[in-house]
Amino acid sequence: MSSGQLHSDNPELLIYTSGKLHITVLGGIRLTGLERLKVTLKLTLTGKREDGLSFDQIRLLRLEQAVPVLNELKAWLMENYKMVLPSSVIGKAIAYNLSLWDKLVVYVQDGRLQPDNNAVENSVRPLSLGRKNWMFAGSHEGAKTGAMLYSFMGSCKMNGINPQQWLMDILERIPAYKANKLHELLPNNWTPPQKQ
């Protein structure tokens, strides 16, 4: 479903958008599978070239390589919208994409943003698979605590931090920490203690 690779700060919206574009391919009109494939491949190649680059380098690469492809796609959408009935499936799909265009392309302005939400989907998959096992948390507070712990562990994983090392360190440090500085202990802000 996420083969369109047009995702950004609103992942559900963008996956849905790529699904709508896919429907338009099946619906016929002038969006050929080849045109869509060309756009998808160009954006995917830009994403593959981003590995190992700094966030600023990624932003510059996207501005250079992804923006022209996105502009080409937007021009196609605008040109073809004039030729379809607004109430048709393709008309609705094109109108939907054009109305949310600024949100679709925001990821090119910031190298920290991902063009898709695959990392999030992959990180929540274990939770979804085991959902029945965790259906009964004992209480509402227990469920909230469990959700918080899963979020912390997921954040550790996303930041390349050993969750056990992080948890042991913050449990030792937290009693002496000021309440207004607790955000410094979150996995994305945490620095491991220096070994002596």
Summarize pLDDT for 85-136 with one digit per residue, the tens: 999 888 888 898 899 899 888 888 988 887 777 777 777 777 666 666 666 6
87 and 175 inside one domain: no
79 and 39 inside one domain: yes
Asked which of 109, 125, 150 is the last residue of a domain, the reply is 109
Contact of 8 with 14, CB cutoff 8 Å: yes
Does 159 map to a domain?
A: yes
**Segment 27-54, tens digit of pLDDT:** 444 445 455 556 665 666 666 677 788 8
Does 116 map to a domain?
A: no
96 and 168 inside one domain: no
What is d(CA 57, CA 191) in angstroms, rounded to the nearest whole number? 25
Contact of 32 with 137, CB cutoff 8 Å: no
Look at phi and psi of residue 90 and say left if phi exceeds 0, alpha if psi is from -120 to 50, else beta: alpha
15 and 79 inside one domain: yes
What is d(CA 168, CA 113) in angstroms, rounded to the nearest whole number? 30
81 and 154 inside one domain: no
Does 35 map to a domain?
A: yes
Q: What kind and span of H or E run contains 102? A: helix 101-104
66 and 101 inside one domain: yes
In terms of pLDDT, which residue wins out, 168 or 132? 168
103 and 24 inside one domain: yes
Does 84 map to a domain?
A: yes
Domain around 184: 136-196
pTM assigned to the model: 0.51
Q: How far is CA 46 from CA 36, 113, 187, in A?
A: 16, 14, 29
Domain count, the chain: 2
What is d(CA 19, CA 116) in angstroms, rounded to the nearest whole number? 13
